[in-house]
Structure 1
Amino acid sequence: MVNPKGDDAGRERVTLLNTTPDVINLQGWSIADKNKRKTMLAALELGPGATTLVTLSSEGAQLSNDGGIITVLDKQGLKIDGVSYTREQVARQ
């Protein structure tokens, strides 16, 4: 959720889905925004088809209400996946 009602701090969320047939260890992984701010992910294992909900704090990655980019980085800092979203998509939430 990019633009929750009220104050956004600590209420913006990103859902991660493991689309692979393998268990993925998220220890050391992070989510980055378009300004390169990062939120570290919890050290957990995500099974095939499983999801985890990541709540972003005001100190790390932020979801801009004007649209942006969210990138998932592995522990080496390499891009694993990413998505962009527009202001129009935010407005429809």
Structure 2
Amino acid sequence: MTRLESPRSGQLQLAKREISIFSAMIRPRSPETGKEWVSLLNRTEDEINLNGWVMRSKNGRKAVLQGRVGPGRMHMIGGADIGTLRLGNQGEDLMLRKADNVLVDHVTWTREALLRGGPGIFYEFELGR
């Protein structure tokens, strides 16, 4: 695991975020197809319904989420669930939006940060920014 220094979008105060983009396998060992994943963290004491939520990259590729995530639990998005979403090795912006299009979380990373960590290492995003 490597931490990425990535400022949050500031759309919702951290204390009010129900769900945070917690970590990602951005640069798996080759071949990358089917091995990228993103994890979300439910920061509340309640189960959250993710049906219709969308995770989108800056190039417009997306994953439409389904399912529920229990209190304090992680929800993994990968394999067939990742849709057309691809996690850019040259740097990327990743946004998580509720079904009503409200921005919940936003993380970024750079090519340089990925090169420091190397392939096959998952990245954890800072929660406090």
Q: TM-score range by the shorter chain?
A: 0.7 to 0.9
More helix by share: 2
Tell me how many residue pairs correspond in the alignment: 92
Aligned amino acid, residue 76 of structure 1: D
Unaligned runs of 5+ in 1: none
For structure 2, the 5+ residue unaligned runs are 1-24, 122-129
The match for 1:88 among 102, 109, 112 is: 112
Q: Whose RCO is larger (CA < 8 A, sep 6+)?
A: 2
Aligned CA distance change for structure 1 residues 15 and 26 (closer, same or farther; 3 Å): same
Q: RMSD across aligned C-alpha pairs, in angstroms?
A: 1.8
Tell me which residue corresponds to 1:39. Answer: 63
Q: For 1:56 and 1:68, locate their aligned partners in 2 and report how far apart those are by CA, in whole Å.
A: 19
Instruction: Determine if the alignment matches structure 1 residue 54 to structure 2 residue 68.
Output: no
The CA deviation at 1:56 is 5.4
How far apart, in 2, do the equivalents of 1:59 and 1:22 lie? Answer: 27
Q: Which residue in the other structure is 1:70 paired with?
A: 94
